[in-house]
């Protein structure tokens, strides 16, 4: 198993880099790619940058250049379900683009995806469920959606009406689509930084460091659970 971890921002990646043991760093395609041991597992770690283009590009690079066949996305997200609170963990079970006409772009156009929703890998979900038992923060499993915008009250209702997701971000659906096309196992772990009650980019900035650290801790628990099952 060759395991990759991708974070979108430096804030999300820093807890991993601080805990990475040994290894090397390579600069490729404008980003730093770190190899080392995290949670007792050899990993390839990259910070891809914000947005779906960056996410897809770096996912493909880790698959092609580093032979990654399991990819975990860790970071932060906005809470869409009203039951979510700040710093809860959301593990994505399905992923889709909220800003793409999936039927036209994905299903009816080459290379003809079977649908516009991409599933997390069942073995990674099983490991995440095991990791959630006794974890310090609440852990929820469900739909995640991605788009090239920060979601606040102005557009929250439209995204909920069309997709009813647990959480929203700017990268995970692109990573899930890339992994689907390459036959690579994928899951996303996100700490909640903002909700309908705690809305706005200001809350994201205030809460992103803590939410990123919690997501990193949960990712470590997930990898330990996965190693036990391997």
Q: Report the catalytic residues.
A: 12, 194
HEC states along 51-116? Answer: CHHHHHHHHHHHHHHHCCCEEEEEEEEEECCCCCCCCCEEEEEEEEECCCCHHHHHHCCCCCCCCC
Question: What is the rounded CA–CA span in Å between residue 186 and residue 159?
Answer: 23
- How many other CB atoms sit within 10 Å of the CB of residue 113? 17
134 SS3 class = coil
Question: What is the rounded CA–CA span in Å between residue 184 and residue 177?
Answer: 10
């Amino acid at each position: 198993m060759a395991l990759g971890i991708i974070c979108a921002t430096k804030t999300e990646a820093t807890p991993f880099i601080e805990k990475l043991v040994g290894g090397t760093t390579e600069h490729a395609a404008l980003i730093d790619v770190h190899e080392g041991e995290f949670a007792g597992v050899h990993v390839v770690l990259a910070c891809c940058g914000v947005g779906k283009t960056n996410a897809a590009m770096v996912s493909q690079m880790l698959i092609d250049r580093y032979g990654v066949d399991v990819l975990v996305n860790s970071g932060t997200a906005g809470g869409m379900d009203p039951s979510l609170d700040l710093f809860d963990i959301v593990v994505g079970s399905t992923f889709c683009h909220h800003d793409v006409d999936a039927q036209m772009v994905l299903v009816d156009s080459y290379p003809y995806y079977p649908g516009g929703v991409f599933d997390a890998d069942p073995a990674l979900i099983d490991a995440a469920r095991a990791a959630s038992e006794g974890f310090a923060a609440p852990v929820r499993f469900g739909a995640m959606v991605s788009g090239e915008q920060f979601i606040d009250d102005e557009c929250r209702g439209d995204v909920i009406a069309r997709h009813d997701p647990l959480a929203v971000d700017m990268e995970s659906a692109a990573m899930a689509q890339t992994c689907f096309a390459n036959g690579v196992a994928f899951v996303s772990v996100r700490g909640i930084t903002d909700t309908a009650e705690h809305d706005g980019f200001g809350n994201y900035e205030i809460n992103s460091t803590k939410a990123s650290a919690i997501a990193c801790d949960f990712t470590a628990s997930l990898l330990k659970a996965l190693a036990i099952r391997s």
